[in-house]
């Protein structure tokens, strides 16, 4: 009986040891650490995977801690990359790490693992971000990459280096076309912003001009607002109704930053009204025309036409 009891004790002890061994937590892999960060809805996961020295520095910064974390992960987690994102999937195997979808807008982001170098307690990832619209990949002239270096510390995989890179496929015709298109759109946007700023300058100059020369009122001649044509001399030039010196000479010429400016619709002196139009000098599709009047309200038309802007232009917000 004693022998049988001893055997039972040994068997029970062995079974208990095996159960404990099976129920012990399996160490997290670097990829699982990435998945944990991607799934997090707040900053807790990214904090967990930061080096202790980094967390101490952020805590010392007090209110700046969230700002520091915001440089690594957007508020609301990576799912917030799309406003109204309805679905997020993560994958613990394969080249796709995560997929974020917005079913309403038919947009999708995929985060893929382009390269991984595992070296025991260190791991390097190269991640790519791919964007899709209506099932087709959105082509960009650059291919963004996120470079991550992770090191295992006290059983936790922590980010020690984060970098970004971009690859430009200069021999790929599709990417060259996309590059040209995006650069043109970017230039168009910069020129439009400059045109709006110039319109505001002109409206302010008209107000100052009418106040300085009430017998004339508003002017329909751009040159009257500038100084071009005034002869340089030893004595300081004084503003007058022909050259009020209120705007720079480039703007007074009517051509600046890819836009042509015209003042019109002035009534007889003393003029109480005017219209200013800014029309793109290039033929980039979708480039706006802008206009303003004595009310100071700036409007625009998407067809790039001055007459459309003056007739039915939408108010610029």
- Where are the strands (E) in the chain, listed by range? 87-90, 96-102, 107-118, 122-133, 136-137, 143-153, 156-167, 255-256, 259-264, 275-280, 289-293, 298-301, 314-315
pLDDT at 78 over 80: no
pLDDT of amino acid 299: 95
What structural domains does the chain harbor?
Answer: 25-168 (3.10.450.630), 174-231+238-315 (3.30.540)
pLDDT of amino acid 140: 65
Measured CA to CA, the distance from residue 59 to residue 235 in angstroms comes to: 63
Residue pointed to by tokens 């790490």: 97
Residue 88 buriedness (CB in 10 A; 0-12 / 13-18 / 19+): middle
Q: Which of 292, 195, 296 is nearest to 251 (CA)?
A: 195
pLDDT at 83 over 70: no
Q: Which of 83, 66, 68, 73 is nearest to 39 (CA)?
A: 73
Q: Indicate the pTM of the whole model.
A: 0.47
Q: Mean pLDDT lowest for which of 62-71, 169-178, 259-268, 306-315?
A: 62-71
Written as six digits, the tokens of 84 are: 């109204």
pLDDT of amino acid 159: 92
pLDDT of amino acid 205: 95
pLDDT of amino acid 179: 67
- Helix or strand or coil: residue 285? coil
Written as six digits, the tokens of 304 are: 């790039």
The whole-chain average pLDDT of the chain stands at 80
Between 66 and 149, the higher pLDDT residue: 149
Question: What is the rounded end-to-end Cα distance, in angstroms, of the chain?
Answer: 92
> Tens of pLDDT along 170-208?
777 766 676 666 666 556 667 788 999 999 999 999 999
pLDDT at 8 over 70: no
Buried b (16+ CB within 10 A) or exposed e, 208-244: ebbeebeebbbbbebbbbbbeeeeeeeeeeeeeeebb
pLDDT at 278 over 50: yes
pLDDT at 143 over 80: no
Q: How confident is the model at residue 13 (pLDDT cuts 50, 70, 90)?
A: very low
Q: Given phi > 0 = left and psi -120 to 50 = alpha, else beta, which region is 258?
A: left
Q: Mean pLDDT lowest for which of 115-124, 126-135, 215-224?
A: 126-135
Measured CA to CA, the distance from residue 84 to residue 188 in angstroms comes to: 29
Written as six digits, the tokens of 76 are: 């609301």
The mean pLDDT value for 79-94 works out to: 70
- Neighbouring residues of 27: CB distance < 8 A, sequence distance ≥ 6: 155
Q: How confident is the model at residue 20 (pLDDT cuts 50, 70, 90)?
A: very low
pLDDT of amino acid 3: 53
How many other C-beta atoms are found inside a 10 Å radius of the C-beta of residue 109? Answer: 20
């Amino acid at each position: 009986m004693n022998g049988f009891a001893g055997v039972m004790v040994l068997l029970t002890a062995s079974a208990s040891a095996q159960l404990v061994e099976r129920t012990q937590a399996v160490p997290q892999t670097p990829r699982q650490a990435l998945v944990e960060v991607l799934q997090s809805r707040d900053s807790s996961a990214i904090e967990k995977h930061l080096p202790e020295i980094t967390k101490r520095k952020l805590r010392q910064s007090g209110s700046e801690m969230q700002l520091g974390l915001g440089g690594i992960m957007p508020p609301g987690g990576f799912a917030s990359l799309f406003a109204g994102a309805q679905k997020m999937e993560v994958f613990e195997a394969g080249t796709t790490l995560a997929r974020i979808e917005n079913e309403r807008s038919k947009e999708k982001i995929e985060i893929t693992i382009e390269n991984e170098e595992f070296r025991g307690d260190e791991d390097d990832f190269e991640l790519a971000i791919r964007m899709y619209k209506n099932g087709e990949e959105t082509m960009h002239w650059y291919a963004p990459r996120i470079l991550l270096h992770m090191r295992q510390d006290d059983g936790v995989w922590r980010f020690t280096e984060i970098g970004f890179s971009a690859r430009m496929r200069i021999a790929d015709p599709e990417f060259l076309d996309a590059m040209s298109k995006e650069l043109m759109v970017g230039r168009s946007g910069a020129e439009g912003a400059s045109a709006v700023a110039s319109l505001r300058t002109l409206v302010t100059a008209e107000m100052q001009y009418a106040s300085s020369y009430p017998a004339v009122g508003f002017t329909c001649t751009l040159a009257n607002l500038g100084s071009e044509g005034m002869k340089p001399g030893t004595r300081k030039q004084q503003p007058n109704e022909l050259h009020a010196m209120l705007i720079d000479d480039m703007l007074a010429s009517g051509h600046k930053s890819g836009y042509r400016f015209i003042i019109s619709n002035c009534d007889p002196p003393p003029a109480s009204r005017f219209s200013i139009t800014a029309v793109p000098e290039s033929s980039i599709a979708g480039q706006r025309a802008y206009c303003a009047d004595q009310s100071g309200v700036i409007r625009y038309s998407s067809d790039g036409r001055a007459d459309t802007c003056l007739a039915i232009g939408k108010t610029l917000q």
